[in-house]
Structure 1
Amino acid sequence: MDGRKLKIFVEESDKKSDNKIRGYFGEMRQGGMPFDATASGKYAPLGVSELSATLYDLKFKKKTSPLIQLADLYLYPICKSAYDPNYRAFLALKDHKRTVDCKLPSEAIAKLGVKYSCFDWKNTKGEDFSSPSPASITETS
């Protein structure tokens, strides 16, 4: 990543959850990404040393933080779109070209865009949802 550093901000929760996040951050800095290297290879993940050098800091913010509130406005709709692709807030972000997938050329989405494969493609009723294709994400771009 060209020597860039990443400072991660997380919304405070309960102590147990916050400690899990701290542990996960530390594990990634020491051991790299916890994903299967073969399955995640198409995303060109950073190696252990690159990831360790990139993950600079982890800070917790209160729910009243404007930064956290803004992140929630973006992240929740993107996450929810994984099991509800017609979620109105996500469609509004997409229609106004406010997601990273809408800003990338279609050939770069798999590597640089939202990793929808991180989601379990079953909703609570057991209905199967297909992973959004790059075309369906950028068709309104």
Structure 2
Amino acid sequence: MASFTLYLDETGARHPDRASGLPARSDWFAMGGILVRQEDKVEAKQRRDDIAGKWGVTSPFHMTDMINERSKFSWLGRLTQRERDSFWAEYREFLADVPVIGIGCVIDRAGYRARGYVKKHEDRWLLCRSAFDIVVERSVKYALSKGRQLNVVFESDVAMNPVIEGYFRNLKENGLEFDKSNSGKYQPLSREDFQVTLTSIENSPKENRLLQIADSYIYAIARRGYDKKFDVYRRLIDAKRIIDCLLTKDEVPALGVKYYCFDR
């Protein structure tokens, strides 16, 4: 059976009560990235290699380092403004042209705390548990709508690998565990849907080329919650690379990008 792969990355602080270092107006935790059809993987990887080769990039693309011109991307800060503009214009076009679909769940950490979820869920419900369940469930829904199965690849973190893999097993075995009185309007899937559609999960290092694309996508999706004029996100919308662009208005609440606890 044909499949999608969900390349999953995260941005922000996953602990709801731990300082993130971000200003309150943009204090997010987000998990998500890209859905890629199995037949599009070769092209997506080649497009990533093409832009890396053109600009002499030998380290993994990492959006926060790129924007802040630090670490392996400090060289961006030494470019002229014209060169810098040229790089970002080409990088936006690369992200817009690569054959993938952006998807994610973005949680406003201040809103999460204001709702009392920290005390209610305690350690069992780190922000990444909520975000993982939401983004994987929506990816499963989309895969089902296209007659495909879904496997998951996420960026390796030795401490978190067994935790994330445990979230996956729990979804496959038990389905969603959200409060049914609150989640019913989102048309949650049954346990059987997860068992039929979810196939496998694996962790991969940040050198994985498709995970690097996922990193840029989830950053853009998260930042859009606080900055609707963010140019990378707007270019992805223009190119219809965000899942919301592929859905009807009625489908977006249950299948589209989820902005969670943003109602404050």
TM-score computed with the length of structure 2 as normaliser: 0.41
1:120 aligns with 2:261: yes
Larger radius of gyration: 2
The amino acid across from 1:12 in the alignment is S
Is the partner of 2:251 in helix, strand or coil? Answer: helix
Structure having greater relative contact order (Cα 8 Å, sep ≥ 6): 2
CA displacement at 1:107 relative to structure 2: 2.3
State the Cα deviation string for residues 95-131 of structure 1 (Å, max 9, x = none). 3322111222222212321122xx3328xxxxx4xxx
Give the equivalent residue in structure 1 for 2:124. Answer: none
Whether the aligned pair in 2 keeps the contact of 1:83 and 1:121 (CA below 8 Å) is no
Q: Distance in 1 between matches of 2:239 and 2:198?
A: 31
Whether the aligned pair in 2 keeps the contact of 1:11 and 1:60 (CA below 8 Å) is yes
The amino acid across from 1:85 in the alignment is K
Partner of residue 92 from structure 1, selected from 230, 235, 238? 235
CA displacement at 1:72 relative to structure 2: 1.6
CA displacement at 1:47 relative to structure 2: 0.5
1:103 aligns with 2:256: no
Gaps of 5+ in 1: 123-127, 129-141
CA displacement at 1:66 relative to structure 2: 1.0
Give the equivalent residue in structure 1 for 2:222. Answer: 79
The amino acid across from 1:88 in the alignment is D
Let me know the Cα RMSD of the aligned residues: 2.1
Is the partner of 2:201 in helix, strand or coil? Answer: strand
Gaps of 5+ in 2: 1-143
State the Cα deviation string for residues 57-111 of structure 1 (Å, max 9, x = none). 0011211111101112212211232333333322222233221112222222123
State the Cα deviation string for residues 18-55 of structure 1 (Å, max 9, x = none). 11101111111111112222322222121012112221
Q: Distance in 1 between matches of 2:166 and 2:227?
A: 30
Q: Distance in 2 between matches of 1:43 and 1:50?
A: 15
Identity %: 34
- Which structure has greater strand proportion? 2
Partner of residue 48 from structure 1, selected from 185, 191, 196? 191
Is the partner of 1:73 in helix, strand or coil? Answer: helix
Shift in alpha-carbon separation, 1:101–1:90, aligned structure 2, 3 A: same
